[in-house]
Amino acid sequence: MTEISQWYKTVRPSDGNFPALMNTKTVSWYLFGNGGSQEAIRQLLQHTNFYTTVIELPNQSTRRFVKSKVDKWLAEQEGM
């Protein structure tokens, strides 16, 4: 492995190291690890019921994803 590829290599933290409320970038990392993108999250919101994991905070323009709801959504997807 070259020095540059080692620099780019990242390791996904364990589930316990993710916050209870996540922004789009963080939830992408939580779901997909290094291969995720914010666009993938936007697609999930548009085409699935992933929107059930979101809360809108007053006076804020960004949405937050609730980790416990994301975990529940993942469990439902595995059961399909």
Identity of the residue numbered 53? T
* Percent of residues, the chain, with pLDDT higher than 90: 55
For the cut 70, the answer to whether the pLDDT of residue 47 exceeds it is: yes
Q: What 3-state class would DSSP assign to 65?
A: strand
Compute the average pLDDT of residues 45-63: 90
Question: How far apart (Å, rounded) are the C-alpha atoms in residues 66 and 18?
Answer: 11
pLDDT value at position 35? 66
C-alpha span between 22 and 63 (Å, rounded): 9
As a residue count, the chain comes to 80
CB 15 within 8 A of CB 28: no
* Residue-level pLDDT at 9: 52
Lookup: tokens for 46: 């548009």
Measured at the CA of 65, the angle between CA 63 and CA 68, to 5 degrees, comes to 160
Q: Average pLDDT for residues 1-23, to the nearest whole number?
A: 71
Nearest to 21 by CA among 61, 62, 50: 62
Task: Give the pLDDT confidence score for residue 60 in this predicted structure.
Answer: 80
Q: Specify the higher pLDDT residue, 60 or 10.
A: 60
